[in-house]
Amino acid sequence: MRLRILFLITLQMGLFFESASAAPKDKTDASPGQRLYVKQCAHCHGMQGEGVVGVNDNPLYGHKRLPELIQVIEETMPEDKPKSCRGDDAIAVGRYIFETFYTPEARASQKPPRIELARLTNRQYIQSITDIFQNFLGRPEPRQDRGVKATYFDARNFGKPVGNEIVDSIDYDFDEALPFDKLTKKEEFSVRWEGSVLAEESGVYEFIVKSPNSIRLYINDRKLRLIDKYVATQDRNAEHRATISLQGGQAYFFKLETFRFKEPTAFISMSWAPPGGTEQVIPKRNYSPTPIGQGILVQTPFPPDDSASGYERGISVSAEWDEATTNAAIEVADKVLPLLDQMARTNQNDAERIGKIRTFCHTFVEYAFRRPLRDDQKAIYVDSFFSDELDVTDSVKRVIISTLKSPMFLYPELNRKPDTPTLDSYLVASRLALALWDSVPDTALRNAADRDDLLDPVKVEQQIKRMLGHSRARSKLDYFMLHWLQLNEKGAFSKDEELFADFTEEVKADLRVSLRQFVRDIIWSESSDYRHFFTGSHIPINQNLASFYGITGVTGTDFVSASIGNQTGKGVLTHPYMLSMLAYDDNSSPIHRGVFITRRLLGRTLKEPPQATELGSAEFPTELTIREKVTALTEPTACAGCHNIINPLGFSLENYDGVGRYRNQEVGKAINAVANYNTVEGETIELSGANGLADLIIGSPQAHGAFVDHLFHQAVKQPINAYGDSLRESLISRFQTSEFNIQQLLTNIVLESALYEPQQETKE
């Protein structure tokens, strides 16, 4: 097994480090533009524009037209001596850059991008494990109703219940009042809350129980306690914490128990700190009163996936990753054994128990390998581990570990028939499951593959439409949006407590929920219209947000659609969470907002600044607006090349302060949110505030292409240009003609990539 892994590591390293292309061996054969580039540019940008580590990490790639690129060179290059490369020299070096590596087409002509052998990403690994074993455990989806079931007992031993009810959350002070009218003794009672807890985002969740009394908390596992403090502390400040990794879009078994027996005080609060969020009492929307079965949930930490291309990819193999897969395989095996009889549909007294367990193992390996097993695979991965000398639990453990360490599981594209290495229905099923669910094929996909249906584009599209209705697809697109909007990449942010005293962690957490719900509602609406990201005038808010933003008529913790401020909103552009995240702690930030819009929404490239200069590090008169300060700070020639793009975009949002509240004035001056922006096509257009910015993005073919790129890379985990010269333009065109339907775009992406098979080279 180790030899196989080492072989793959060697293969991967060879693929990863293969050089792009070498510099010309004979400089006399070089063009004038190439000689100028090598002399003046390569030390910063690399021989093929790939960037230089520690000098200029960003590659010299982009979408400017040749005249615009030449203009930038004339005005800003070389960085250490701007405006010294002009006239014919600028034209020559600009043409060389443009034709050699600047555009995707130029790079493709030098070294065509290719589909690389890739392992499962961390998210794909964890989700695949969960879903493989869900086939045997049969965990149902939770009901749509929300809240958690509370059962009350009039003694400390959880004997005969006196009643139950569905409650919104767990936050009680029993000294003030008992939660149920049939509980009559304040000095002795017990309560059990049970149901499911719903994770909205993937990552580490910290659960916090505050109580001086006896408590037991179970998450996912009905027997293993996440928190076990069954001896009362009698400390009124006592709190108990524990962490667990959960998958977004999943429901997990939840149970919390407490009792009181003559303690001087009694209360309990159930909170959590979700990924990207802040500590809060778990709200009603994250509970279901339906208890759900136990799942296999991997907790082994993995090293981060490679994200150098802007999206997570499974192309890097390291000793740390290899060790993590070993530890995870052992962890999974240990978690399966207590559930073995349940999964194999047998029991200790069953005369056919061994046979049923062996059948379970055969089926498990088929699920993991995403196709039926050949006889030799059955012998290697299952039968060889069963013998009279070996206990059946040891046999099962060895089957699980060897399977989960196998390249056939870890590298999905290896799942091809050895005698016919071309595309088949099982490989298509695997690609569909990974692209839409980050997982393994379900029963319907496996059945379609058995019928050999999945080489027919019509039937593949039918499967995609079906799969889009599953909660896994919602989770995948939710995860994509977190990446696209950089909600996880930007990290935590804080605000000046004097200027924004009421901008609490609770407000921030609710704003994050609001943004995610706003985006989700657009994606899964009937029109699924990308343009609505930038036109929505209403966002989801609750009473907490309404109070902070001065909106009347909104009460309770549930989110309802409402408008914030006295101006029409423009979707994600003016959503307070985005505006707050892309701002300084004491003011707005045209630079942060402009960089985000340039790179993520418009798809334009920016080079790293020659020096990192924070606004606060420069001295400015107090009567200057933030726009005036940014203009002065970025006026030097070395900054102007990029900031001529960045600043107008950021200035368009200057009507919104550091927490997204609308304003007309700053330091006694009227806000100026009008700016001139130079497009990729070389046109200069006037942006009139958020409205003008929204119109720019909605009408920009480059923005449409950027969104297609982001969605393709997150779904397929491969470079889009590796799938043929025309696919990207075709996807953009179909996206536009479909009225920018996001679900249809994803359908087209998955259909094209799942059925793609490179043409085999023929030998004469």
Other residues' Cβ atoms within 10 Å of the Cβ of residue 652:
28
The contacts of residue 449 (CB under 8 Å, 6+ apart) are: 371, 424, 425, 426, 428, 429, 441
Q: Which residues of the chain have pLDDT under 50?
A: 1-28, 761-764
Three-state secondary structure of 643-669 = HHHHHHHHHCCCCECCCCCECCEECCE
CATH topology for 148-288? Answer: Jelly Rolls (2.60.120)
Q: In whole angstroms, give the CA distance from residue 601 to residue 580.
A: 18
CA-nearest of 223, 464, 213 to 337 is: 223
How far apart, in Å, are the Cα atoms of 683 and each of 73, 676, 679? 18, 10, 5
Q: What is the pLDDT of residue 24?
A: 42
Specify the DSSP class assigned to residue 250.
-
The H or E element containing residue 258 is: strand 251-261
Q: In whole angstroms, give the CA distance from residue 402 to residue 409.
A: 10
CB 752 within 8 A of CB 727: yes
The contacts of residue 378 (CB under 8 Å, 6+ apart) are: 362, 365
The one-letter amino acid at 712: F
Q: In whole angstroms, give the CA distance from residue 88 to residue 574.
A: 44
CA-nearest of 608, 727, 723, 704 to 54 is: 608
Specify the DSSP class assigned to residue 479.
H
DSSP string for residues in 126-160: HHHHHHHHHHHH-PPPPPS--SEEEEEESSTT--S
Q: What is the pTM of this model?
A: 0.84
3-state secondary structure of 389: coil
Q: CA dihedral defined by 160, 163, 167, 169, rounded to 10 degrees?
A: -30
Does a cis peptide bond (omega within 30 degrees of 0) precede residue 78? yes
For 383-436, write each residue's pLDDT tens digit: 999 998 899 999 999 999 999 999 999 999 987 766 666 899 999 999 999 999
The contacts of residue 126 (CB under 8 Å, 6+ apart) are: 202, 245, 247, 297, 298
Q: In whole angstroms, give the CA distance from residue 99 to residue 704.
A: 24
CA geometry: angle at 573 spanning 568 and 574, to 5°? 45
DSSP string for residues in 675-706: EEEE-TTS-EEEEEHHHHHHHHHHH-HHHHHH
Burial class of residue 261 (count of CB atoms within 10 Å of its CB; 0-12, 13-18, 19+): middle
The H or E element containing residue 161 is: strand 161-167
For 358-371, write each residue's pLDDT tens digit: 999 999 999 999 99
- 206 bridge partner residues: 243, 273
Q: In whole angstroms, give the CA distance from residue 368 to residue 314.
A: 17
CA-nearest of 400, 362, 413, 703 to 530 is: 703
Q: In whole angstroms, give the CA distance from residue 750 to residue 746.
A: 6
CB 149 within 8 A of CB 284: no
Specify the DSSP class assigned to residue 52.
B
Q: In whole angstroms, give the CA distance from residue 751 to residue 731.
A: 11
CA-nearest of 348, 329, 325 to 338 is: 348
Q: What is the pLDDT of residue 647?
A: 92
The H or E element containing residue 323 is: helix 319-336
According to CATH, the superfamily of the domain at 21-110 is: Cytochrome c-like domain (1.10.760.10)
CB 465 within 8 A of CB 150: no
How far apart, in Å, are the Cα atoms of 703 and each of 249, 602, 736? 29, 4, 11
The one-letter amino acid at 727: L
Task: Provide the residue ranges of all domains of the chain, joining segments of one domain with +.
Answer: 21-110, 148-288, 319-471, 484-699
The H or E element containing residue 162 is: strand 161-167
Percentages helix, strand, coil for the chain (3-state, rounded to 5) are: 45, 15, 40
